[in-house]
Amino acid sequence: MIRAVVIAACIAAGLSAPVWADAPGATPLQVEYYQLRLTLPPGAAVRQTLTRTTESETNGKVIRTRLEAEYLSQLSRHPDGYRVVKTLVNNAFKVEGAEADAERLELEKVMQAAAAIRDITYIADESLTPLRLENWPQLRNRLKAAMRRSGAIDAREGDAFDGLYGPMTAETAAEQFLPEDALLAIPHNLGLSLNNPYRLDSLINGPFGGTISARESLTLTAWDEAAGEAEVLYESGPTREALEAYALRVRPALEQAAARTARIRKTAPVPIGDIQIDIGTTCRYNISLKTGLVSRAECQSVRDIRQGDDRRRHRENWVLGETVK
């Protein structure tokens, strides 16, 4: 995420003062920066609301999910920023797909297991970006037990669960289990000038291994003192050129894998075909000038992958909000 780098580049650099750009014979240009300060009372409790919809299509088969949830996070100071105890207040989820579809049924079981985890404690930085889960091994065991109760895994599949989550660090687990908290933290404590995007180059994981060069940007699009609200646009994703370069780079490995599979099955290799990828995330934030919290955020994540005749399309949409309780 752009969070840590933007904080360092935008605030630590001293954005509280005007910046002047001088050119010979020209009137100095003043750039005015606005700071979105996170201002929370000691021992604050933050109410978070979430509506998340997903649509996944695999070679024409579509599965949709909808989750509505409310959380209450109790904050206390910590040397790294905050210790957050996040409690699930209520939730409702729905999975749409063919009644007998095995993937839909398995997804329902996983969501039931996730809903059984009523509280998560984690450490966050000064902007409430999750850093690591507290007591991650115990939480991992609770999740495994919940998945067994829901039928998402059986005794034999427990080893696969351990293989996936056993080596996972508390930091990686925070990224996986608290994605909405990370999205909400993006505009906290930023300093930006109006309609002047802050851009950053980064790397993201590619769908076939390796990494892809990506660009992230944050733009303050509105600042309304009277309404007590600001608007920020966040955009992240690889450029078309980066995606095309990645497709060329991974093709030899995919062709080698197809050849190995063909030798094992004693069949002709399946042609790789065209590789087309589209990946990106966009968020539009309304931010309270009083608290610095996100009163409303609308986000969308796109992940489309096509390799020959194999097509996978994934859309994830969020409507998020947070207020001091």
DSSP state of 152: S
pLDDT of residue 248: 93
Q: Specify the number of domains making up the chain.
A: 1
Summarize pLDDT for 148-164 with one digit per residue, the tens: 998 888 878 888 888 88
- DSSP H or E run through 37: none
Summarize pLDDT for 108-148 with one digit per residue, the tens: 888 888 888 899 999 999 999 999 999 999 999 999 999 89
Summarize pLDDT for 179-233 with one digit per residue, the tens: 999 999 999 999 999 999 999 998 988 999 889 999 999 999 999 999 999 999 9
Is it the case that residue 20 has pLDDT exceeding 50? no
Domain that holds residue 305: 3-324
Task: Report, as an integer, the average pLDDT of 296-318.
Answer: 94
C-beta of residue 306 within 8 angstroms of C-beta of residue 275: yes
pLDDT of residue 31: 63
Least confident of 70-79, 102-111, 253-262: 102-111
One-letter identity of residue 207: P
Summarize pLDDT for 268-292 with one digit per residue, the tens: 888 888 999 999 999 999 999 999 9
Alpha carbons 73 and 48: distance in angstroms, whole number: 8
CATH number of the domain to which 101 belongs:
2.30.230
Q: Can you spell out the DSSP letters for 177-202?
A: H-HHHHHHHTTTTEEEEBT--EEEEE
User: Model-level pTM?
Assistant: 0.84
Alpha carbons 313 and 273: distance in angstroms, whole number: 17
Summarize pLDDT for 54-88 with one digit per residue, the tens: 999 988 888 899 999 999 999 999 999 999 999 99
One-letter identity of residue 194: L
Alpha carbons 82 and 76: distance in angstroms, whole number: 6
- DSSP H or E run through 310: strand 310-324
pLDDT of residue 321: 98
